[in-house]
Copies of this chain bind each other. A is one copy, B any other.
Amino acid sequence: MEIASMNNDEKPSNFFTKGLLWFKSSHEKIFAKIVGIAKQLKTIAKDDPRRVIHSLKVGLSLTLVSLFYYFQPLYNSFGVSTMWAIMTVVVVFEFSVGATLGKGLNRGMATLLAGALGVGAHYLASATGKVMEPILLGLFVFLQACALTFIRFFPQVKARYDYGMLIFILTFCLVSISGFRVDEIVDMAHKRISTILMGASVCVIVSIVVCPVWAGEDLHKLVAQNMEKLGKFLEGFGDEIFKSSEDITESKVTKTSLIEYKSVLNSKNTEDTLANFAKWEPGHGQFKYRHPWKQYLKIGGLIRQCACRIDALNAYINSEIKAPEEIREMIKETSMKMSIECGKALKELSKSMRKMNLPISADEHVTNAKNSAKKLNALLKSRINNWEEINLLQVIPLATIASILTDIVNCVEEIGQGVNELASLANFKTTKSCKEIINTNKVMVVEKIELSNNHVVITINEQNMKL
């Protein structure tokens, strides 16, 4: 009996402790989850503070547009159509100005065109009588939906007018089927188009006026940054690969900077998207309306090609090189020079691109790297007879590294050419410092100064300085 009663007594307390434990553990779990999410929120905001500003901008635009509901006169004239302004803001407002403008223009143009065609189709169908009308309308809807859905598969259309196609299909269906009389439709279309225009204007204005995010600028920075990442790797690679085994433990800190280049391999999609958005953007800052955005994609492709070589090179970063000291030292010096000069060239190209200056010393670094490659070849040719007991197996990793590096030098040269093309297409500034001009021992004689098309043209005559 006692045992039974004890058991009975224990059960509820057991239940409560279990419950408390469960509550405590789940409470802790939830707390840990919340902390995790909060940390992630912080990282996302820290990575790109413009994201926070973008969120505030969307909130602001929506609140502005929702004012239409509160101002009685506005609401009276537009009625339920005010809804379309809110829809437009929610759907059109994108992170960058280019994306917002592109979507806004697509939406506006598609609504106008499809609306007009829809009214036409509706008018045509209603003229054929009550029996034929639904059949004809159904046929119109079917045909235009099929045709435009198929056209959306065109790569050029998909890249720039996909959203417009969608809105065209939608608007055409809504207008042609609606079943209203033509004058009713015209009134409705007027209201809808006005509200859509209002919504789109609010988006575009807020997007451009409040801390604008330019897709073009992002593309420009991304390409420059990718070049810098490769440059960093190449500068660091020389030290990493030829260091003695004692230093290997120390190098973990620097290694994080050596894997940055991996993100470059998958940057194609971001670049393509940004270039498409950038084409919608008006001139801003240093970028004119028809800035050569295509050239960035070309440079981006070359950079990825170089990153691929670097990825192949990276496979050797952890392999121990056992070559004889003499060969090692010989190859080390020239390879390091090649790697570091390529790195410097890329960093220089990146820096000059960021500042939109003509790259001055990049070509010099490439030439240095090429000379090192030639030197390595010459050394290998001349010293070959001095190595009596050569172990080919031990030389192969070094030879491979040297060979891939030579390939990288060519890649960097091509990137340099790409940047130079961009510089001439986009009229990058020359930054010839005074010192350099003086060093050339020439005297600049200003011949005439004239004003044409908002530019001051200064004609200069160069003469040799008579010392």
Q: Which residues of A are at the interface with B, using a C-beta cutoff of 8 A?
A: 40-41, 44-45, 51-52, 54-56, 58-60, 62-63, 66-67, 69-70, 75, 83, 86-87, 90-91, 134, 137-138, 141-143, 145-147, 149-150, 153-154, 166, 169-170, 173-174, 177-179, 265-266, 268-269, 304-305, 308-309, 311-312, 315, 377, 380-381, 384, 390-393, 395-397, 399-400, 402-404, 407
Query: Smallest CB–CB gap between A91 and chain B, Å?
Result: 7
Residue of B nearest to A270 (CB): B269
Given known pairs A400-B404, A402-B396, A403-B397, the reply for A63 and B149 (CB within 8 Å) is no
The residue from B44, B87, B146, B308 contacting A154, defined by CB atoms under 8 A apart:
B44
- Having A58-B146, A308-B311, A396-B402, one finds 7 other A-B pairs with CB under 8 Å, namely A62-B169, A69-B178, A90-B169, A90-B170, A269-B269, A315-B407, A392-B392
5 A-B pairs within 8 Å (CB atoms) are namely: A87-B170, A269-B269, A311-B312, A395-B399, A396-B399
When chains A and B are docked, how far (Å) is the Cα of A303 from the Cα of B380?
36
Given known pairs A153-B44, A308-B311, A407-B312, the reply for A390 and B399 (CB within 8 Å) is no
Query: Smallest CB–CB gap between A192 and chain B, Å?
Result: 11
Given known pairs A51-B153, A308-B265, A399-B399, the reply for A173 and B90 (CB within 8 Å) is yes
Residue of B nearest to A266 (CB): B268
Contacts of A143 in B (CB 8 A): 59
Q: Is the interface of A mostly helix, strand, loop or mixed?
A: helix
The residue from B63, B137, B146, B396 contacting A138, defined by CB atoms under 8 A apart:
B63
When chains A and B are docked, how far (Å) is the Cα of A91 from the Cα of B91?
12
The residue from B145, B146, B381 contacting A393, defined by CB atoms under 8 A apart:
B381
Contacts of A390 in B (CB 8 A): 384, 390, 392
Contacts of A268 in B (CB 8 A): 266, 269
When chains A and B are docked, how far (Å) is the Cα of A150 from the Cα of B268?
25
Q: Is the CB of A173 within 8 A of B86?
A: yes
Q: Is the CB of A145 within 8 A of B62?
A: yes
Contacts of A91 in B (CB 8 A): 166, 170
Q: Is the CB of A58 within 8 A of B153?
A: no
Contacts of A403 in B (CB 8 A): 396-397, 399-400
